A and B are shown apart, each in its own frame.
Chain A
Amino acid sequence: KQEVTQIPAALSVPEGENLVLNCSFTDSAIYNLQWFRQDPGKGLTSLLLIQSSQREQTSGRLNASLDKSSGRSTLYIAASQPGDSATYLCAVSNQAGTALIFGKGTTLSVSS
């Protein structure tokens, strides 16, 4: 059974710092990997989607990498801002592409 783990569970940084969030998964037979952001009381916002054949994706200050063979992904946030404060969730898609399996998330707090 696929399991997704995110480390750390919580992270507090001062504004301007670069940071890395980690995600690991137990079964490398995935269709894709997605990073989401969730604000309190809200749904999930898709940040980046990496297909299983890709190694990384970039969007603005965000960069996500995927190493399928080792079962790892990282989300790099450059020059963090207070508006980046949220919970970040990593999810892998099953081979059929019909379901996402999520980690518990990393709660990020960026102080000004």
Chain B
Amino acid sequence: GAGVSQSPRYKVAKRGQDVALRCDPISGHVSLFWYQQALGQGPEFLTYFQNEAQLDKSGLPSDRFFAERPEGSVSTLKIQRTQQEDSAVYLCASSPRQANQPQHFGDGTRLSIL
């Protein structure tokens, strides 16, 4: 079966624009995670969904970041009024259940803010 799919693979935006990043998890996976990875760093947790419920959004850096998963499958991470420090790779991961299951990662969206 297909893995986690993210689109677009690359996104360039001007400072102040809004962007939307999409994640298609593996079919049937209950849990979905978003991470932000800066250059040369490990990924940092942003938010977690179990089905359509956003159970943990403690890692979202500001109220400009918003994530949703309305039907419990596809998820969208939206960043409003982008700033240069938002430039990073945004990784999505999914897993079959909440705990003790490996997370399967997509290839990420590389976001560059000019």
Query: B45: CB under 8 A from chain A?
Result: yes
Taking the complex as formed, is B2 at the interface, i.e. its CB lies under 8 A from any CB of chain A? Answer: no
Majority SS at the chain A contact face:
strand
Shortest CB–CB separation between residue A51 and chain B, in angstroms? 6
Compute how far the CA of A100 lies from the CA of B41 in the bound complex, rounded to whole angstroms: 14
Verify if B59 is at the interface (C-beta below 8 Å from A): yes
Q: Which of A43, A45, A91, A101 counts the most chain B CB atoms within 10 A?
A: A43
Contact A102 B98, beta carbon cutoff 8 Å? no
Which residue of B42, B56, B101, B102 is within 8 Å of A99 (Cβ)?
B56
Pair B105/A45 contact, Cβ less than 8 Å: yes
Q: How many residues of B contact A (CB 8 A)?
A: 27
Complex Cα spacing A101 to B102, Å: 14
A46 to B104 Cα, complex, angstroms: 7
Nearest-Cβ distance from residue A14 to partner chain B, whole angstroms: 25
Contact with A along B47-58 (1 / 0, CB 8 A): 010000001101
Chain B residue numbers with a CB within 8 Å of A105 are 42
The answer for the CA separation of A73 and B26 in the assembled complex, in Å, is 29
Contacts of B33 in A (CB 8 A): 99-100
Q: Hey, which bits of chain A sit against chain B, CB under 8 A? A: 4, 31-32, 34, 36, 41-46, 49, 51, 89, 91, 93, 96-105
